[in-house]
Structure 1
Amino acid sequence: MQLLLTLVISLALTTGVYAQDDSISLEELEQLPPIPAEYGTLSYLEKVNWLNERLNEDINVVEEYRLQRMLAFEYDDNGEPTLTNSICESHPPQSFDFYYRYTCLAVDDLSYEQRISKLFELHEKLLEEGWVEFAVSVLAEIGWMQSSSGNIKQAFQSFEQALSLAKDQRVPWLVLNGVMQDTATLYIMYGDANYRQKGMQLHKHILERTKALRDDNQLPPEHAQNTIDLTYFNLGVANALHERDYEKALDWLGKVNLEQAVQAKSALVFSALSAVELGKAELAANYLDQSAQLEDQDPVVERYLACYQQLVNHKLNNQDDVPACHNLHPDTQLEVKLDVYKRMSELESSDLRIEGHENFYQLYKSTLQNQLKQSSSAMASSAELSRLQLESELQKDLLEKEELLKDAERERRETQSNLMYAIIAIFILVVVFGLLQIRQKLRQAKRFKALSQRDSLTGLHNRLYFEGRIQRELDAVNLANREEDNKRLAVYLFDIDYFKKLNDSYGHDIGDEVLKEFARRVTHALREQDMLVRWGGEEFLVVAKVDDEDDFHNIAQRIHKAVTQKPFILPNGLELPVTCTVGGVICPYLTDIDQVPHWRTLVQLADTAMYYGKSQGRNRWVCINEIPTKEVEEKVLNEGFKSLDKHQGVKLKTSNDQ
């Protein structure tokens, strides 16, 4: 879905709702001198440097807006949502700038309901301005989000509307094909038997049409092959998960080009599943071995594929447990959750069967129950509509007969009508007043949410904010490492030395002033993209992306130096020397595996490093560079560094080593 949307919006010349009142015009933006052709040949970092250099020059407001949005696009293309969002907040998109508006909306920290609402608003604005292709793609994305969240009925409506709009407006095959694929997939995932057949027929139509366009040289061969492979894969999964016709599933999945298709690993895993269900153990094992050599770029997909691999292993080798199935990613598609829990419920192991049933029940409570209520509400609404329509017809007959009455009766009726209009007007005022109150409450809720993620004393983000964002950072590192991009993430935990003694000596008011100055200094020492939060009390935590160990150590040094370089001068004129102890860990840090651990483990390791620094005299930083094995990691977490010697392979770097 995201690939389709990217292809469509990349066709825009200029590209909120996420938008501010226009302070510049589209004409002013288009009249700027063109960007030099050599810009397109630069690498990502070269483009970022070029844009920042231009922004430091003496430029007008329009040129600054263009360069800032280009910088946001570069950050977004490189998977830097935090940096992208910071530009969107400091330089909001203009109302005419649809591409930039969509980019900013994609990285904004919104709830599901807020994102859906803003996407609908953007969709309507696109239609008003005649951007039909983009509007169709946004509507299809809305449908996909609705289906992922379990709002199946709304998803069907969104896709049907997108498909109808695409056909009526004769949008290009690229867009229409994407909507048809998503619609067909939704039919298969959540429809009854008739809808599943309708979805598979739609996929077959896409297959025939794509091959015809390819043979007539109306589609680029690479794009045509990608569409064909995706359709083969969708038909294979439809038969494996929904029809449970495993022979047909193997046939369709076997047509996927494993050397080029992005669905290669998924195709192999579902082929293994189909083969083992048919009792073809050797074939299933072969597919399983091939799938183990590949990785999917999407962490959500990678996690549920691991579950299916373990389910196949369970049947092949009587594997006792399927741990990956216990911890599916929260964004896993509803169809996958349903299929996994059903297969667990059918296993021979009583423990796994019970867990499968329990997962079904939890899924029912969290998602399916709401859908049943929505369906019931819709049926009730339809019945009420029919009743009102019947009443309206009866009233019409009555009024026609009453027209035959005397003038006095007509006047009385008119008086009643005027009274009714007055009642309606009052009712409308009440409704408007209520809506205004609701709108105000929504604004207040948004402000309260923002405030709940801020520490009231220092103004820094708090632990709630950290817990809402850290998993995205870890997933990004995992993905980058699978792509051999060698991205690394550092976590630092640090606090003020002898802070309790300072509070006891000078009072809590002075302690609060020290905390505020401490936060200010560390903030200025860090980069804009680093995450700084008040962890609690006098403890603070930083999450930073780093390139290597030198970068890792330099940030620890900057934090320590910012605090200790000169005394704190407080508002009452008091000067206090303040020191801190910093503990840090870089990940991945295990030499035997590249997988990034849970964030709680990282924080615990940083805490262990900090307390090791305190045991060595405080006023220093300690960084964990490397831990050789999981066993040593466990020992560090349980015992700290006092019981370790250098022969166990833990590599530390401290400020005393400088």
Structure 2
Amino acid sequence: MRLNTMQLLISLVFVVSFLADAQEENEVTVEKLEQLPPLAEEFESLSYLERINYLTEHLEQAEGPADEYRLQRELAYQHYFYYETELTAQACQLHPPKDFDIFYRHLCVSVKDAEYEEKLAELIALHEDALELGGTEYATELLSEIGWIQSSNGHIGLAFNSFERALELAKDPAVNWPVLNTVMQNTATLYIMYGDKEYMENGVELHQQVLRRTKELMEEGQIDERMAQNTISLTYFNLGVANTLHLEDYDAALEWFDKVQSDDAGLLKSTLVFSALSAVLLGKNELGANFLDQSLQTTAPDEITARYLNCYQQLIQLKLKQTDSISACNNLHPDTQLEVKLDVYKRMSELEQEELQFQGLKKFYALYLETLEPQLKQSASAVASSAELSRLKLESQLQDELLEKEQLLKEAESKRRETQTRLTYALASIFVLVIIFGLLQLRQKFRQAKRFEKLSKTDMLTGLNNRSYLEHNISKYIDSAVLSNRSEDTNKVAIYLFDIDKFKMINDTYGHEVGDQVLVEFSRRVKSVRRESDILARWGGEEFLLVAKLDDLDDYHGLAERIRTVVSEEEFDLPSGLKVKVSCSIGGTIYPYSPYGDAGVHWNKLIQLADLAMYYGKQHGRNCWTCIDEVTDPEQLETVLQQTLEDSLKQNSVKISSSIK
């Protein structure tokens, strides 16, 4: 039967309409996300690993595209909150944010490995979209972030334009205090970093206004005390740096640094380094050496900060005659702030040692050619905007200083050539010395690289290995067990997952500072009973993971008991003066876990087994250990992982040992 033209048209319209309806049904929108029921109430109380498991399990049962998108986005947020930047970036790449989802887009831009221009363009687009959607407060935050990135890359005029617009937006009543405070702090910091004396003093006054206002709001109960204290400490630090690097009032700098009270390891390290610099510049070498020793025991938050703080530490050691090398100052990260580069190279060019002075002049001149000269030419006729900074004064001041350094560089180069002419017969010796010097630099850089590698694999609070380190090394232990099993050896690998019992109650009762002290002491005790060959890592929050090579089940159970005993046998005597009774619940699994062979199992499955064992212990009273000795049928592993350990015991799917009486 043949269809006529009208019938074909009607059929085509029907098909197009059907496809359009199907596409609309699968489209993720704001309305569909808002209609979704909230996640379970207990989600907030779960640990990081439990949250990841929860979201992964619910993804398999997602009810439509909107629910699936919501769960994938939440996975990215959880990775980000626990500093798993690589996992966050992977989540963003596999499940990109929708255009309307401003917060998720911002998260993905933050972790993206992008060049300055690309990242700036994406942040500007986010800012414009936030304004269009009516999010004035968030648009203001984004402008402040944009301004800071611009200033860090030497675009000072653009940065002040961004902060000026942010201040205009902040007049909106919808913008709350923390956002306005951040814009004010960043603006004040730029006054100090790039202004003349008048504007430096203006910046200091702005910081002091922020201090006064923050204290008033805290006393009135209008802002959270912890947030206020963090703001106050950061402002004290900014004032200390202003007096150290710009106003050169080192007594005032030490007074401000002395007021900083923070549990942030990065802020603490920076405070100690600049305190040491101020003390040494005052001639208080003993005090400076004390601050320096303390700073060497703390960890920087990121590679950029770590590199330039290491440079300042070497400059201090040079002043104290503890070293004759400042190799770290020649290895600053390319993204180091312009303020820091200017200060470091200026200090190098003023050193007494001719070779080090020459290095500083070369760096200074290169910075001038690559960054400052283009900026000066672009803004030669510009004047300060209403953000109160005179660009013309700044450029003239910088240009005079840099031309003077350029002249010194040429004189130093002339002197160097003259010296080389006079010492013609010593060229061979100089060549040998240069080679030795280069080798020493390479050796120092290698040590630095090793140190940075260690920092990237260490948990800043406890000093233990972090999750990233464990994930990169646990497979070696599993592979070793597989090889020994093939050679009829008895070596096994044990994995213990344990956390602090009722840790949330400790935080709620005594505060997060005491909670952090408990985590540090807990780590120290567990570390004291493990062997050097074992991997001990902070898995996330109050959860820890230990991977150990063992010979038999007695060692397997004995190590679990040693961990339980060393934690609970004596109260934790904390630096705050408190004494707290602490216990932990330990879950263990052993690999191979079956007499019939289980090669090829992923270590994630072993951790899930240990997790089941740990929660079995928590359900039976806590302060105990539970070890899975055997999974009787390896083919039933997935079934075991999807149910409680209690059910698996009833089905005789597993065999366990436990300290539970």
Structure 2 length-normalised TM: 0.56
Partner residue of 1:128 out of 132, 138, 159 = 132
Of residues 537, 549, 569, the one that matches 2:476 is 549
Are positions 1:107 and 2:111 aligned together?
A: yes
Equivalent AA in structure 1 for residue 313 of structure 2: Q
Q: Structure 1 CA distance, aligned partners of 2:483 and 2:456?
A: 20
Tell me whether 1:43 sits opposite 2:47 in the alignment.
yes
| Per-residue deviation, 1:60 | 1.2
Q: 2:70 aligns with which of 62, 66, 86?
A: 66
Aligned to 2:101: 97
Indicate yes or no: 2:199 matched with 1:195. yes
Q: Distance in 2 between matches of 1:223 and 1:96?
A: 29
Instruction: Identify the residue that residue 486 of structure 1 maps to in structure 2.
Output: 465
- Given the superposition, is the C-alpha separation of residues 475 and 112 from structure 1 closer, same or farther in structure 2, using an over 3 Å criterion? farther
Q: Which residue is 1:293 aligned to?
A: 297
Q: Find 1:177's aligned residue among 177, 181, 185.
A: 181
Q: Which residue of 1 aligns with 2:169?
A: 165
Moved more, 348-357 or 246-255: 246-255
Pairs within 5 Å for 1:457-536 = 477-480=456-459, 484-487=463-466
Say yes or no: does 1:353 pair with 2:357: yes
Establish whether residue 304 from structure 1 lines up as the match of residue 308 from structure 2: yes
Which amino acid in the other structure matches residue 67 of structure 1? L
Change in 2 beyond 3 A, CA 1:157/1:483: farther
From 268, 273, 276, give the equivalent of 2:277. 273
TM-aligned CA deviation for residue 291 of structure 1: 2.0
- Does the 8 Å CA contact 1:132/1:169 hold for their aligned counterparts? no
In 1, Cα distance between equivalents of 2:362 and 2:152: 21
Q: Report 1:102-501 matches (<5 A).
A: 102-169=106-173, 171-257=175-261, 263-317=267-321, 319-376=323-380, 477-480=456-459, 484-487=463-466
Partner amino acid for 1:161?
R
How big is each residue's C-alpha offset from its partner over 1:144-169, in whole Å with a ceiling of 9 and x where there is no partner? Answer: 11111111111111112112211244
Percent identity between matched residues is 50
CA distance in 1, matches of 2:126, 2:290: 48
Distance 1:485 1:126 in 2: 40
- Structure 1 counterpart of 2:294, which letter? Q
Contact 2:239–2:256 (CA under 8 A) maintained in structure 1? yes
SS of equivalent to 2:472:
strand
CA distance in 2, matches of 1:489, 1:87: 16
Distance 1:483 1:551, change over 3 A: farther
Residues 310-334 of structure 1, C-alpha deviation per residue, up to 9 Å, x if partnerless? 2111111263111221211222211
8 Å CA contact retained: 1:268, 1:291? yes
CA contact (8 A) 2:136 2:174 kept: no
User: Are the equivalent residues in 1 in contact too, given 2:26–2:65 (CA < 8 A)?
Assistant: no
Distance 1:323 1:110, change over 3 A: closer
Q: Output the CA distance in 1 between the equivalents of 2:230 and 2:140.
A: 21
Q: Deviation digits for residues 366-385 of structure 1, max 9, x if unmatched?
A: 21122112213868xxxxxx
Whether contact under 8 Å (1:226, 1:261) holds in the other structure is no
**1:357 shift after superposition:** 0.5
Alignment RMSD (CA, Å) = 3.1
User: Which secondary structure state, in structure 2, belongs to the residue aligned with residue 317 of structure 1?
Assistant: coil
CA distance, structure 1, for counterparts of residue 355 and residue 25 of structure 2: 59
Aligned mate of 2:56, from 43, 52, 56: 52
1:486, CA displacement in angstroms?
1.7
Separation of aligned partners in 2, 1:544 and 1:256: 36
Distance 2:147 2:280 in 1: 34
Which string of whole-angstrom CA distances, capped at 9 and with x for unpartnered residues, describes residues 510-537 of structure 1?
A: xxxxxxxxxxxxxxxxxxxxxxxxxxxx
CA distance, structure 1, for counterparts of residue 225 and residue 467 of structure 2: 37
Deviation at 1:193, TM superposition (A): 1.9
Runs of 4 or more, structure 1, over 4 Å off, are: 258-262, 473-476, 551-557
The aligned residue for residue 397 of structure 1 is none
Q: Deviations over 1:23-62 (max 9, x none)?
A: 2221111111110011111111111111111112253111
Q: Distance in 2 between matches of 1:219 and 1:300?
A: 32
Moved more, 176-185 or 302-311: 302-311
How far residue 355 of structure 1 moved from its aligned partner, in angstroms, is: 0.5
Deviation at 1:78, TM superposition (A): 2.7
| Whole-angstrom CA distance in 1 between matches of 2:223 and 2:67 | 37
Letter paired with 2:377: K
Shift in Å, 1:262: 5.2
Kindly provide the CA deviation profile for residues 558-598 of structure 1, in whole angstroms up to 9, marking residues without a partner as x.
Answer: xxxxxxxxxxxxxxxxxxxxxxxxxxxxxxxx99xx9xxxx
Separation of aligned partners in 2, 1:167 and 1:489: 43
Return the offset for 1:259.
6.0
Aligned partners of 1:260 and 1:109: how far apart in 2? 25
| CA 306–110 in structure 1, closer or farther in 2 if over 3 Å, else same | closer
Partner-residue secondary structure (3-state), 1:244? coil
Distance 1:51 1:476, change over 3 A: farther
* Mapped partners of 1:127, 1:253: distance in 2: 38
Per-residue deviation, residues 2-30 of structure 1 (Å, max 9, x unmatched): xxxxxxxxxxxxxxxxxx99922211111
Q: 1:489/1:70 Cα in 2 relative to 1: closer, same or farther (>3 Å)?
A: closer
Q: 3-state SS of the aligned residue for 1:256?
A: coil
**Paired residues for 1:6-17 under 5 Å:** none
Determine whether 1:34 maps to 2:38: yes
SS of alignment partner, residue 263 of structure 1: helix
Instruction: Tell me the distance in 2 between the aligned counterparts of 1:165 and 1:22.
Output: 37
Equivalent position SS for 2:175: coil
Q: Decide whether the 8 Å contact of 2:144 with 2:183 is kept in 1.
A: yes
SS at match of 1:545: helix
Separation (CA, whole Å) in 1 of partners of 2:303 and 2:264: 20
- After superposition, the Cα gap between the structure-2 partners of 1:258 and 1:34, relative to the gap in structure 1 and judged at 3 Å, is closer
- Residue 483 of structure 1 and its aligned partner are, at CA, apart by 5.0
SS at match of 2:379: helix
| Structure 1 pair 179–479 and aligned structure 2 pair: CA distance change class (3 A) | farther
Q: Do the aligned residues in 1 keep the contact of 2:214 with 2:228 (CA within 8 Å)? A: yes
CA distance in 2: counterparts of 1:213 and 1:190, whole angstroms:
30
Counterpart of 2:290 in 1: which secondary structure?
Answer: helix
How much does 1:296 deviate?
Answer: 2.3
Cα distance in 1 for partners of 2:482, 2:72 equals 27
